[in-house]
Amino acid sequence: MVRAGLCIGCGACVAGGNGRMAYDRYGQLQPQNAARPETFEHLCPFSPFAADEDAIAGARFAAAPQRDRKVGRFEATYVGHVAEGDYRAQGSSGGMVTWMAAELLSRRLVDGVAHVAATDPSPDGGFFGYRISRSLEELNAGAKSRYHPIELSGVIDAIRVEPGRYAVVGIPCFIKAVHLLRATDPVLAERIVFTLGLFCGHMKSLRMVESFAWQMGVPLEAVTSLDYRLKDPDRPANWYRAHLNLRDGGTAAQDWWHLADGDWGAGFFQNPACNFCDDVTAETADIAFGDAWVEPYASDGNGTNVVIARSPVLNDIVRDGIMQGRLALQPVDAEFVAATQAAGLRHRREGLAYRLTWRRRGIRPVKRVAPDRRGHTLRRKLIYRMRAGIAFWSHRVFWLAHRTGQPRLYIAWARAALRLYQALTYSRGRLGRFIDGLGLAGRDG
Ligand SMILES: Cc1cc2nc3c(=O)[nH]c(=O)nc-3n(C[C@H](O)[C@H](O)[C@H](O)COP(=O)(O)OP(=O)(O)OC[C@H]3O[C@@H](n4cnc5c(N)ncnc54)[C@H](O)[C@@H]3O)c2cc1C
């Protein structure tokens, strides 16, 4: 799986064994001495032999009244934010993930929540890791999105050791891995009682932090902690601003749009396995949360969630919250939720169909999307090629720049790649018309 570029680094394969996860030269977590080879093929979320998202969700949410091709099975869908306390101000989006996790703890439905919080910078450069929070204080201190490699093996081992009921927060492939682990281990099946999913565009490598630091003129060693999305109610929510805290007490900050690799869609530092993902909205999670990337919400710097409640129990908690005025959520339909993730879904469905036709070595991924080379315009095909190229080369050019002590090598390459990508993607001018003129018949992107 690692050699085939299908390892997301979730750590499911080393949980419960003597193996461990370590960063590779590109700042991605990979298994060392992965244990449990006998069950590995059924545990890995990208394994072609593992149950897929439809099978897992079908078994878990068989009675769900609604089913949608893009967002999966569900009880109800909502848009809005937390109205009480400072969940919204402290969260990356509308604060719903932390609110729901806190509610599970307060109602004593769980004893602990496995989620991702800041750690002291590790010698290998990591700034975040999974941990189990058992109090509201711990939970709140872990709010916010971390576009940073993290892995589950430590918390899975802790859950096996410590009896209790747990919730796990994670991106879609991690939640899938949790369900695959639960299917092979009755202890985990009994103890992990809720899964809280985060919508996902893709997973970044550790190098993105270092690149941001380089571009802000500070060495990585000077950074003690970071916020990928500093919240500012006076600016649109989708104007991400990265914020670094420095060892000397100072700070450095920059808007993602001014960083050479800050266009999320271009795919800089994307984990290669994400090229073969077809789940944007955590279809196997009991409840899933994302950002409402449509107007007027995208322009509201306070942050707004979209929520997909798949489990009736968690949907009841959401409904209680609305009735008590603690949540400012309105019901929406699946089309609305899908529209908030239009770009991600297009990349993971029609883009994936095209990527599945590319020649590749090693294990062939098996996805819910059928390979399709024909149903795309020339421009869309070039965009998918370009994104894959940027993802592939960003790891390697950064490695070379790091190795030779020449940050400018990477930054110059990234700026050039970004210019080309943006010309291809957004150009309505001559370049765009030229490509479209060459275009094959097919849907527009
Ligand atoms: C890698 C990644 C990609 C994402 N891509 C998209 C996207 O394309 N579209 C979209 O709408 N939303 C995406 N999200 C989700 C979005 O960033 C918000 O996390 C989500 O809207 C919830 O916001 P909130 O304010 O409700 O959460 P908060 O109240 O801020 O709580 C966030 C919770 O998630 C936990 N957490 C943070 N990072 C991770 C992580 N990497 N793994 C597991 N748990 C974590 C925190 O510990 C905390 O408990 C992504 C998140 C991640 C981590």
Query: Is the CB–ligand 1 distance for residue 297 below 6 Å?
Result: no
Residue 379 binned pLDDT confidence (cut-offs 50, 70, 90): very high
Q: For ligand 1, pick from 130, 131, 136, 145 the residue to mutate: most ligand atoms within 8 Å of CB.
A: 145
- pLDDT value of position 17: 82
Which whole number is the average pLDDT over 389-414?
A: 97
Residue of minimum CA distance from atom 19 in ligand 1:
145
Residue nearest atom 3 of ligand 1, based on CA coordinates: 200
Measuring from atom 10 of ligand 1, which residue has the nearest CA?
290
296: preceding bond cis by omega (within 30 degrees): yes
Segment 340-349 mean pLDDT: 97
Task: Name which residue sits closest to atom 21 of ligand 1, judged by CA.
Answer: 290
Helix (H, G, I), strand (E, B) or coil at 79: strand
Q: Is the CB of 132 under 6 A from ligand 1?
A: no
pLDDT, one tens digit per residue, over 204-217 is 999 999 999 999 99
Residue 442 has pLDDT above 50, yes or no: no
Residue (of 199, 13, 209, 236) closest to 118 by Cα position: 209
**pLDDT tier for residue 440 given thresholds of 50, 70 and 90:** very low
State the pairing for strand pair 251-255/166-170.
unpaired
* pLDDT given at position 35: 58
Mean pLDDT of 153-168: 97
Cα angle for residues 336, 341, 343 (degrees, 5° grid): 130
pLDDT value at 443 more than 60: no
Of 253-257, 323-327, 364-368, 429-433, which range is least confident?
429-433
Give CA–CA dist 437/445, Å, rounded: 15
pLDDT score of 34: 66
Q: Does the C-beta of 92 come closer than 6 Å to ligand 1?
A: yes
Q: Measured from the CB, is residue 334 less than 6 Å from ligand 1?
A: no
CA–CA separation, 337 and 322 (whole Å) = 19
Give the Å distances, CA to CA, from 38 to 34, 184, 337, 393. 11, 11, 39, 34
Q: What is the pLDDT of residue 435?
A: 66
Query: pLDDT tens, 411-430?
Result: 999 999 999 999 999 877 66
Query: What pLDDT does residue 18 have?
Result: 80
Asked if pLDDT for residue 139 goes beyond 90, the answer is yes
Task: Report which protein residue has its CA nearest ligand 1's atom 4.
Answer: 200
* Closest ligand 1 atom number to CA of residue 97: 26
What is the number of the ligand 1 atom nearest to the C-alpha of 264?
8
Distance (Å) from CA 130 to ligand 1 centroid: 13
Mean pLDDT of 54-63: 97
For helices 96-106 and 312-323, the axis angle rounded to 10 degrees is 100
Q: What is the mean pLDDT of residues 321-347?
A: 98
Specify the ligand 1 atom closest to the Cα of 116.
Answer: 47
Distance 170 CA to ligand 1 centre (A): 8
Q: What pLDDT band is residue 436 in, cutting at 50, 70 and 90?
A: low
CB distance 168 to ligand 1 below 6 Å: no
Q: Per-domain residue ranges for the chain?
A: 20-205+270-336, 348-438
Q: What is the pLDDT of residue 445?
A: 29
- Give the CA count within 13 Å in the CB-facing half-sphere of 127: 22
- Per-residue pLDDT at 37 exceeds 80: no
User: What pLDDT shows up at residue 360?
Assistant: 85
Please state the rounded mean pLDDT for residues 251-265. Answer: 95
Report the number of secondary-structure helices (H) and strands (E) in the chain.
Answer: 16, 15
Q: pLDDT, tens digit, for every residue of 115-128?
A: 999 999 988 879 99
CA–centroid distance, residue 198 to ligand 1 (Å): 5
* Average predicted confidence (pLDDT) for the chain: 94
List residues bridging with 258 in a β-sheet: none
Q: Of ligand 1's atoms, which has the minimum distance to the CA of residue 201? A: 8
Task: State if residue 117 touches ligand 1 by the CB under 6 angstroms criterion.
Answer: yes
Give me the mean pLDDT over the 390-408 stretch. 97
Q: What is the mean pLDDT of residues 98-106?
A: 98
pLDDT at position 427, please?
Answer: 74
